[in-house]
């Protein structure tokens, strides 16, 4: 989805993490410091990220492990069939629209863009690979994460059996001495788009303590 290419050899968390590390190495000054902010899949990359330039992080609607239970395993197994052509784009759009508890002013415009974009050659294949990418490696390293971390989740995020439980699981597992959970009432999987002002307030308040 979006404007990225679709022909990557891997869509794994580890491959994406390596790309982020390369960007930090080549595009960020040696003395500059970075705060990583990631949503959904990107949260697992943040957990695995190794860079002395990163000083803190915020993860929103985070997938940082392979979730327990039968549901996530079944979803991964049937994803290739669910999102196959010619109906896959419509199925994804129907599912995607359930992930918002509130709509930004430009939601309709972005929805129209995505509806066209997801039909482009290779997009559905890339989507399935991304959905199926294991977060087990990130989950196994979660207890080693020591940087300050803000964990933000929509209280009604349908991707989790209980969003609050998952947020507190992450909080209690990481080794950070400075960590905080913020729940956004009635929001779902993309709080940065659903309630941007509240997310910005929480993030700036947290960073004021640690940076």
**DSSP assignments along 172-208, one per residue:** HHS--SSEEEEEETT--S-HHHHSHHHHHHHHHHHHH
Radius of gyration in angstroms for the set of CA atoms belonging to the chain, rounded to a whole number: 17
**Is 108 exposed, middle or buried (CB count within 10 Å of its CB: 0-12, 13-18, 19+)?**
exposed
Give me the pLDDT at residue 7, please: 86
180 - beta bridge partners?
150
Give me the pLDDT at residue 2, please: 72
Helix axes 70-82, 123-132, angle to 10 degrees: 170
pTM of the entire predicted model: 0.95
Q: Which helix (H) or strand (E) holds 107?
A: helix 107-117
DSSP reduced 3-state for 86: coil
Give me the sign of the Cα torsion angle 211, 184, 132, 6: negative
Domain 13-210 has CATH 3.40.50.1820: yes
Give me the pLDDT at residue 164, please: 98
152 in Cβ contact with 180 (< 8 Å): no
pLDDT tens for each residue of the chain, 211 residues long: 678 888 899 999 999 999 999 999 999 999 999 999 999 999 999 999 999 999 999 999 999 999 999 999 999 999 999 999 999 999 999 999 999 999 999 999 999 999 999 999 999 999 999 999 999 999 999 999 999 999 999 999 999 999 999 999 999 999 999 999 999 999 999 999 999 999 999 999 999 999 8
Q: For the chain, what are the domain ranges?
A: 13-210
Nearest-angstrom CA–CA distance, 59 and 20: 15
């Amino acid at each position: 989805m979006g404007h990225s290419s679709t022909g990557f050899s891997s869509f794994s968390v580890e491959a994406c993490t390596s790309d982020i590390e390369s960007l930090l190495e080549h595009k960020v000054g040696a003395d500059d410091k970075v705060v990583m902010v990631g949503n959904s899949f990107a949260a697992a990359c943040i957990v695995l990220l190794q860079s002395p330039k990163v000083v803190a992080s915020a993860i929103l609607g985070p997938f940082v492990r392979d979730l327990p239970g039968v549901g996530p395993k079944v979803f991964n197994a049937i994803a290739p069939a669910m999102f196959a052509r010619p109906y896959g784009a419509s199925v994804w759009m129907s599912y995607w629209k359930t992930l918002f508890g509130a709509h930004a002013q430009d939601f309709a415009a972005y929805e129209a863009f995505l509806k066209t974009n997801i039909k482009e050659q290779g997009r559905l294949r890339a989507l399935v690979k991304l959905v199926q990418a294991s977060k087990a490696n990130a989950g196994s390293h979660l207890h080693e994460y020591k940087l300050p971390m803000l964990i933000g989740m929509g209280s009604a995020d349908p991707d989790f059996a209980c969003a609050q439980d998952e947020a507190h699981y992450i909080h209690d597992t990481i080794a950070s001495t400075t960590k905080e959970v913020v729940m956004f009432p009635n929001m779902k999987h993309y709080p940065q788009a659903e309630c941007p002002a509240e997310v910005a307030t929480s993030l700036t308040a947290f960073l004021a303590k640690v940076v």
